[in-house]
Structure 1
Amino acid sequence: MSMSVAQPLSQSHRISRKLTICAETNVINVRPIVKGAVKEASHTLTDGYANNAVLDWCSRGATNDFLFTFFKSLINSATLSSRDFAVQVEGCKGVMIWTNQPQGFSLPSAAKLARMVGWAAALRSLMQYQPWRVKWRRKVMADYEEYLTIAYLGVLPHEQRKGYGSALLQYVLDKADAAHYPIFVEVTEMTAIPFFEYHGFVVKGQDLVCNHSELPVALMVREPILKADSPLPLRLKPGRRDSDNTI
Structure 2
Amino acid sequence: MSVTERNPRDTIRPIRIEDVEHATRVLAHAFEADPVLRFIIPDDADWQRVSLPWFRSVLRSAVRRESALIDDRGQGVIVWETPAAGAGLARQLLSTIRMTGLLRHNLGRARLLSDTLRSYRPRRAHWYLAYIGIEPGKQRSGLGQALLDSLLERADIARMPVYLECSARGNLGFYNQARFHLVDEVTIPTGVNTWPMLREPNPA
> Normalised by the shorter chain, which TM-score bucket?
0.7 to 0.9
Please list the CA deviations of residues 5-27 of structure 1 after superposition, one character each: whole Å capped at 9, or x if unmatched. xxxxxxxxxxxxxxxx7977664
Aligned to 2:186: 207
Equivalent residue for 2:200? 223
Residue type of the alignment partner of 1:151: A
Q: Letter of the 2:147 partner, please give it.
A: L
1:33, CA displacement in angstroms?
Answer: 1.5
Contact 2:126 2:162 in 1 (8 A): yes
Give 3-state SS (helix, strand or coil) of 1:151's partner. strand
Q: What is the CA deviation profile of residues 42-73 of structure 1, one whole-angstrom value per residue up to 9, with x for unaligned ones?
A: 11111111111111121135352222221111
**Aligned in 2, Cα 1:76/1:122: closer, same or farther, shift over 3 Å?**
farther
> For the structure 1 residues 129 and 87, does the alpha-carbon distance in structure 2 shift closer, same or farther, using more than 3 Å as the test?
same
Whole-Å Cα distance in 1 between the matches of residues 130 and 19 of structure 2?
19
**2:158 is equivalent to residue 176 of structure 1:** no
Structure 1 residues 221, 109: closer, same or farther in 2, change over 3 A? closer
Percent identity reads 22
Q: Cα 1:39–1:170, aligned 2, differ >3 Å: closer, same or farther?
A: same
Instruction: Give the counterpart letter for 1:195 in structure 2.
Output: F
1:193 deviation in Å?
0.7
Which structure has more helix as a fraction of its residues? 2
Q: 2:73 aligns with which of 91, 103, 106?
A: 91
Structure 2 unpaired stretches of 5+: none
Q: Which amino acid in the other structure matches residue 198 of structure 2?
A: V
SS of 1:64's equivalent? helix
Cα distance change on mapping 1:78 and 1:123 into 2, 3 Å? farther
Q: Which residue of 1 aligns with 2:100?
A: 113
Deviation at 1:184, TM superposition (A): 0.7
- How many angstroms apart in 1 are the aligned matches of 2:128 and 2:98? 27
> In structure 1, which of residues 16, 39, 60 is the aligned counterpart of residue 42 of structure 2?
60
Select which of 130, 143, 146 maps to 2:125.
146
Aligned position for 1:230: none
**Alpha-carbon shift at residue 133 of structure 1 (Å):** 3.4
Deviations 1:115-142 (A, max 9, x none): xx322234432x33333333331xxx24
CA radius of gyration, larger in = 1
- 1:91 deviates by 2.6
The one-letter amino acid of 1:131's match is: D
2:32 counterpart residue number: 50
Q: SS of 1:186's equivalent?
A: strand
Q: Which amino acid aligns with 2:190?
A: H
Between 150-159 and 175-184, report the one with greater CA deviation. Answer: 175-184
Task: Provide the C-alpha distance between the structure 2 equivalents of 1:148 and 1:63, rounded to a whole number of angstroms.
Answer: 27
Q: Which residue type is aligned with residue 61 of structure 2?
A: S
Match of 1:136 among 104, 120, 130: 120
| Alpha-carbon contact 1:28-1:164 (below 8 Å) kept | no
- The answer to whether the 8 A contact 1:113-1:122 is kept is no
Q: How far apart are the structure 1 equivalents of 2:40 and 2:6?
A: 44
d(CA) in 1 for partners of 2:155, 2:199: 9
Code of the aligned partner of 2:51: L
* Residues 130 and 113 of structure 1: CA distance in aligned 2, closer, same or farther (over 3 Å): farther
The yes-or-no answer on 1:28 pairing with 2:28 is no
Closer, same or farther: CA 53–76 of 1 in aligned 2, 3 Å: same
CA shift at 1:74, angstroms? 1.1
Deviation at 1:180, TM superposition (A): 2.1
RMSD: 2.4
Gaps of 5+ in 1: 1-20, 228-247
Q: Secondary structure at the match of 1:91?
A: coil
Which deviations, in whole Å up to 9, do the C-alpha atoms of 1:191-218 show, x marking residues without a partner? 1111101111110111113x121x1111
